Structure 1
Amino acid sequence: MSKPSVPELLTTWKDNFTRNFSAAFTNLDAKGWIRIVMIVGTYALLRPYLMKLGAKMQEKQHAKESAESGEIHPNELRGQGKVEIPGVGDSDEEDEEEEKVGQWGRKARVRQRKFIRDALAKEEERLRDEQEAESDKELEEFLTG
């Protein structure tokens, strides 16, 4: 007996799969359908939690590996990060005061700091866009001139 060719094997596998798949659902009784619904429902309910758990584990593993290898995050090389605002940063005196008073107004200070950081970021972006526009104008002058 000769060896079957690849197309013959693929058609045989396809026929077996379709026959077995359709027979699996046509021969199910009520108990089987309940089992399928429970399995699919449990999977649908647990999947987001399993994904979060996997992401946390992967993040821990990545942090451990990067700490061992001494890698530097690319944003640290670019000089990006938290924008420090002079006179607005947390000081030790402020922390001691807040603990004594019961942290009154802390949320307002945090909100104000965030607002100032956002405003600075928008201003830097606007200045960057202006510089790009000026360089585009200079290039256009050279090209037309």
Structure 2
Amino acid sequence: MIQLPTLRLEAHGILVLDDTASAHGYLRTLADLYREDPEGVGDALILIADLGDAAEEVRCSGGCDCTGRARDGVIDDLLLDLGGARTALDPRVTHRALMQARQLAGAAQAIADTARARADELAALTAMERKAREDARRPVAP
């Protein structure tokens, strides 16, 4: 089953791209890896945090992003240990591949529909605020 993020509307009209389903899978796999090799996984996580701190310091001082790239490399290695962050789609010409493609298209369409509705809502709200600002700037006739 394809686990795409879902786009949903939260309180106050805020759009959220929710990838909780994938995150659950990664955390379960990370917990299994930690059970097998707590020292190795712990060391990798500490290294990622340390490299992140160092990358932030370098970024603030305007230096090279080598530390950030090193951190990303460690993250990539850990993701590979977790099984990767890619979802392979069925390349065959079968009913299963057809259903997988339709599911993917449906999920993508749902994301696009939600985003389009929010964009339309924001366009209307922006137009109303712009009109209110313009009306406030106009001099009042005596």
Larger radius of gyration: 1
TM > 0.5: no
Q: Which has the higher contact order (CA 8 A, sep 6+)?
A: 2
Q: Which has the higher helix share?
A: 1
Q: Which has the higher strand share?
A: 2
